[in-house]
């Protein structure tokens, strides 16, 4: 009797144990599946977020930095500039002095600026054309030419000049035509550096310097000797007048 009861108890207990083990195994499988689903869902969510973030910053980088780069870049326009060996040195000097990168493009002198009587180009008209091509919003547009340029001055409608720069930042133009008289290539380069830096100084809103300190922002009055005399730097007073925008 007792042996039979023990046998029945043993079968019952083993049946329960097997059932519990099966249930545990089933539950473990469900839990593992749930874990898999959770992990897969988590990875999918991160992937979607990364894709959205990547798309957003890609769009942002395709727009904002372009404007930022252009705003902090000076555009140099070669306008019938035959002295090509001076292009790169001029750009390097601009970057060295004003701490701003440059970009070069080829351009044309506007026909409406041509003054046939003296075979010169009106500098103000050239600057207006430079301003018109600045669609991308560069900081300044700097024109370089080997042609003679002029402006109305002292009752003369086409007074020959080295360069001209607008105080409103719309552009500037420099010519090597009048800087080539009795000069070596090295001296010509130094003269052009000073004239270009001077005209860009006007674009930054700096008028002609009236201080007694040496400064390349002084008016040359059409005299090469004045250009040679002035240093390759700006006085402290003129530096303080520089407009940041």
DSSP string, 93-137: HHHHHH---EEEEEE---GGGEETTTTEEEHHHHHHHHHHH-TT-
Bridge pairing between strands 114-115 and 102-107: unpaired
pLDDT for residue 243: 83
Residue in 96, 78, 81 with CA at minimum distance from that of residue 197: 96
- Of 19-33, 40-54, 116-130, 171-185, the poorest mean pLDDT is in 40-54
Confidence of residue 31 (pLDDT cuts 50, 70, 90): very low
pLDDT at 39 exceeding the cut of 70 = no
Pure H helices in 134-235: 185-203, 224-229
Mean pLDDT within 70-82: 94
pLDDT at 20 exceeding the cut of 50 = no
Burial class (CB in 10 A: 0-12, 13-18, 19+), 244: exposed
Whose tokens are 């547009």? That residue is 141
pLDDT for residue 40: 47
Residue in 66, 79, 67, 74 with CA at minimum distance from that of residue 96: 74
Confidence of residue 26 (pLDDT cuts 50, 70, 90): low
pLDDT at 45 exceeding the cut of 70 = no
> What value does the mean pLDDT of the chain take?
81
This model's pTM is above 0.95: no
CA gap 118, 155 in Å, rounded: 16
Mean pLDDT within 183-202: 97
pLDDT for residue 166: 97
Percent of the chain with pLDDT over 90: 66
Helix (H) or strand (E) holding 76: strand 74-79
Burial class (CB in 10 A: 0-12, 13-18, 19+), 70: middle
Mean pLDDT within 15-24: 50
Q: Taking the CB of residue 145, how many other CB atoms lie within 10 A of it?
A: 24
pLDDT at 36 exceeding the cut of 90 = no
User: Which tops the pLDDT comparison, 75 or 47?
Assistant: 75
pLDDT at 116 exceeding the cut of 80 = yes
Beta bridge partners of 159: 151
């Amino acid at each position: 009797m007792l042996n039979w009861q023990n046998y029945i108890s043993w079968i019952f207990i083993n049946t329960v144990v097997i059932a519990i083990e099966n249930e545990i195994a089933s539950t473990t499988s469900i839990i593992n599946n749930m874990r898999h689903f959770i992990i897969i869902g988590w990875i999918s969510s991160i992937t979607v977020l990364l894709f959205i973030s990547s798309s957003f910053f890609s769009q942002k980088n395709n727009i904002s930095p372009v404007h930022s780069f252009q705003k902090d870049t000076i555009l140099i326009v070669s306008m019938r500039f035959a002295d090509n060996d001076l292009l790169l040195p001029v750009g390097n000097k601009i970057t060295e002095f004003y701490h701003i990168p440059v970009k070069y493009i080829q351009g044309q002198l506007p026909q409406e600026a041509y003054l046939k009587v003296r075979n010169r180009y009106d500098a103000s008209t050239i600057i207006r054309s430079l301003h018109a091509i600045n669609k991308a919003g560069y900081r300044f547009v700097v024109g370089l030419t080997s042609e003679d340029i002029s402006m109305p001055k002292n009752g003369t409608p086409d007074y020959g000049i080295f360069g001209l720069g607008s105080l409103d930042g719309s552009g500037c133009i420099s010519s090597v035509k009048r800087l080539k008289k009795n000069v070596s290539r090295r001296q010509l380069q130094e003269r052009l550096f000073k004239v270009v830096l001077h005209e860009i100084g006007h674009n930054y809103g700096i008028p002609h310097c009236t201080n007694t300190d040496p400064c390349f922002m002084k008016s040359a009055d059409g005299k090469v000797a004045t250009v040679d005399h002035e240093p390759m730097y700006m006085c402290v007073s003129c530096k303080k007048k520089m407009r940041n925008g």
